[in-house]
Amino acid sequence: APVVFLAGGIFWLEFDHNLLNLQSPRLESVRLEHELIERADQSVWFALSMARDVEEVQRRKAAFAKLPTVDRVEEVASLAAASDPAETAAIERISKRLALVPVESPAVAEPSAVRLRAVAEELRERLNRVVGQLNQAARDGAALSGAEPTESTRSEMKGLRTAGEAADALVARLHSMPDELVELRIAEFQQRAANELLDRLRQLRAAANPEPPALADLPESIAHRFVGKRGTHLLRIYAAGNVWDMDRLTEFVRDIESVDPRVTGHPVQTFYASRQMQRSYVHAAIYALLAVAITLMLDFRSIRSSLLAMIPVGLGMIQLFGLLGIMGMPLNPANLIVLPLILGIGIDDGVHVVHEFRNQKGRYRLGNATATAIVITSATTMIGFGCMMFAEHRGIRSLGQVLTLGVFCCLVTSLVVLPAILRLLTARREEVGNAESSELKSQVDDENCLRVEESSNPPERIQPRRVSRS
């Protein structure tokens, strides 16, 4: 009954292809990847497609962009595409005007300290006048409506007062300095401002080239990533959504392969590697069972004994997969490695029990030596691999969990289920043995009775004849 109950959990067993779930959640790279997926629903992985020329790049980019599973496509060939005629004309007009920019910075006019002080005083008076008017308007508005000024009004008034205070400080500073020093400072400031402005204009003039850019104009750090030595172009195709999910990854790979069957990259490699790994383990399990069956046949030379020896691993695997499904522990590329180990240990336990069964007479009874050997070998294996359950790496942790559970299930089956089956199979031996014992006992009793009768009735002695002599 427990085996049947656990077998129902197999329907909830899943296979987790997500390699991100094998890593430690404390790693910064894992946390950032999860954050990127949650916030932008994107992944840092991208597929790669190779194109022979710019025209093929444009065709593939348009085809990839139409796919519902593609978020964006990156390439550099479009940077060298033909420009819009309207944009080209505008750039030509700007270039002609910038051609008038002088090569050398002209000398600025000499400033006047008297004129500068007058301008500063005029600025201060205007600011103070505006601040006073705003204060009066605020008081009048509060008296009429009874409402306080808004936050924006108070912020504007504070800014004007700060500007008025700065103007007062500027006027005081200008009056405290001699005319020669004021004129020298202003001249230096004007010259620096003029030089900086002319430098910006010269940079803009160099960039205002009406000719469309070429790939050779790109920085080497960018061009060598997307353009090969033989002129081939690279396209990066980013998936829309979380490609760590196997269903989305499958759709993404199928879609982009419909445009370019030779597409490659991390998503494509992960997709095919996960599928191949899963299929390979299934094939390996089938081959292992066949090899084990042949080995058992060579050992026992009996189909019945071979099948009995495989009961612990068969029922143990069913219990293991059921427990994993009930506990919500999926299989993954890491813990699949231990399944052959569980197979070997389960077969080993069954072989010990069946060998003892074949050597016993009468109804089977599990011997203490065999039970102790099975318990010790299984316990040492569970302890050794069970230490992996404390690992921070979730893949190694799941490896230890699956192997410990699997060996324990095989152990229980070897000590409880298989001996019970063997006792049922040898029940006939006990009946035959009892019948033979009864018959032998009756024969012994008959012989004893005959001996007793003979001892109680001894045979008559024959008297010798006397011969007379005459």
DSSP secondary structure of 174-208? HHHS-HHHHHHHHHHHHHHHHHHHHHHHHHHHHH-
> Residue 121's pLDDT is what?
87
Segment 100-129 mean pLDDT: 81
Which of 71-75, 134-138, 161-165, 203-207 has the weakest average pLDDT?
A: 134-138
Q: What is the pLDDT of residues 361-375, one digit of tens each?
A: 888 899 999 999 999
The Cα-based distances of 73 to 84, 218, 245 in angstroms read 22, 19, 21
Report the Cα–Cα distance between both ends of the chain, in Å, rounded.
103
Query: How sure is the predictor about 97, in pLDDT bands with cuts at 50, 70 and 90?
Result: confident
Q: What angle do CA 38, 336, 329 make, to 5 degrees?
A: 50
> Residue 452's pLDDT is what?
56
Segment 221-229 mean pLDDT: 81
Q: What is the pLDDT of residues 427-454, one digit of tens each?
A: 776 555 544 445 545 555 556 655 656 6
> Residue 355's pLDDT is what?
93
Which of 65-69, 73-77, 219-223, 407-411 has the weakest average pLDDT?
A: 219-223
Helix (H) or strand (E) holding 38: helix 28-40
Q: Is CATH 3.30.70.20 what the domain over 302-430 is classified as, yes or no?
A: no
List, by residue range, all CATH 1.20.1640.10 domains of the chain: 302-430
Is pLDDT above 60 for 460?
no
Which one is predicted more confidently, 372 or 116? 372
Q: What angle do CA 202, 204, 210 make, to 5 degrees?
A: 120
Percentage of residues in the chain having pLDDT higher than 90: 32
- How are beta strands 233-239 and 46-51 bridged, if at all? antiparallel
Q: What is the pLDDT of residues 156-199, one digit of tens each?
A: 778 878 888 888 888 888 888 888 888 888 888 888 888 888 88
> Residue 352's pLDDT is what?
93
Is pLDDT above 50 for 203?
yes
Segment 414-431 mean pLDDT: 84
CA 322, CA 287: separation in Å to the nearest integer? Answer: 23
**Relative orientation angle of helices 113-145 and 179-207, to the nearest 10 degrees:** 80
Q: Is the pTM of this model over 0.85?
A: no
**Which residue shows structure tokens 């790279």?**
29
